[in-house]
């Protein structure tokens, strides 16, 4: 574990404030959930992701769709890319999402981009066409399903596939 040298008091309601610098460096946003873990006498706060617990399930979804469409498909939570199928898998899997995807999550964007455009999927820009649909559970966007092509144009059917996959994930997570 790495020490920060920061000490905070617990208030009368049992709360502590996580300093802004730490929240910013760990990309913890207002309203996000943190999981509380105990390790002997240590209390550990960990970013919580509902989808992250379904990594294998998400990977099966992307693999199944990829077997038919042959375009890259990925599933994210609000922080990172959890599942990828296609040629971009090694480049994208388990990477933090870029500013463009963060914005799409924040705006609950569902869209089809048929003309190549620079997009910050991770910290690097990628020239691509894409279809994207948010995964919404209990009114909150918890991630995205995205089909990406660096060579061909994505089509209306690709947007429909992202919508189906995101709805399937939403329904599954609401049942859990």
Number of residues that this document lists for the chain: 176
pLDDT grade, residue 132 (50/70/90)?
very high
Query: Per residue in 37-86, pLDDT tens?
Result: 888 888 888 877 666 667 888 999 999 999 999 899 999 999 899 999 99
- Of 13, 42, 18, the C-alpha closest to 29 is 18
Q: Where are the alpha helices (H) located in 7-155, listed in sequence order?
A: 20-25, 55-69, 89-92, 99-107
Copy the structure tokens of residue 118.
């620079």
Q: Where are the alpha helices (H) located in the chain, listed in sequence order?
A: 20-25, 55-69, 89-92, 99-107, 156-175
3-class DSSP assignment, residue 20: helix
pLDDT at 156 over 80: yes
Phi-psi region of 138 (alpha: psi -120 to 50; beta: other; left: phi over 0): left
């Amino acid at each position: 574990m790495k020490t920060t040298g920061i000490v905070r008091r617990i208030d009368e309601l049992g709360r502590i404030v996580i300093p802004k610098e730490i929240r910013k460096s760990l990309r913890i946003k207002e309203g996000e959930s943190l999981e509380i873990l105990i390790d002997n006498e240590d209390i550990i706060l960990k970013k919580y992701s509902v989808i992250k617990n379904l990594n294998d399930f998400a990977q099966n979804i992307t693999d199944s769709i990829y077997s038919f469409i042959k375009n890259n498909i990925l599933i994210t939570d609000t922080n990172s890319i959890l599942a990828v199928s296609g040629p971009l898998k090694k480049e994208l899997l388990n990477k933090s999402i870029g500013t463009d995807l963060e914005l799409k999550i924040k705006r609950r964007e569902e869209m089809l981009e048929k003309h190549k455009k620079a997009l910050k999927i991770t910290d690097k820009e990628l020239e691509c066409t894409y279809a994207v649909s948010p995964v919404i559970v209990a009114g909150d966007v918890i991630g995205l399903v995205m089909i990406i092509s660096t060579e061909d144009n994505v089509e209306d059917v690709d947007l429909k596939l992202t919508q189906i996959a995101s709805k399937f994930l939403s329904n599954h997570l609401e049942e859990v």
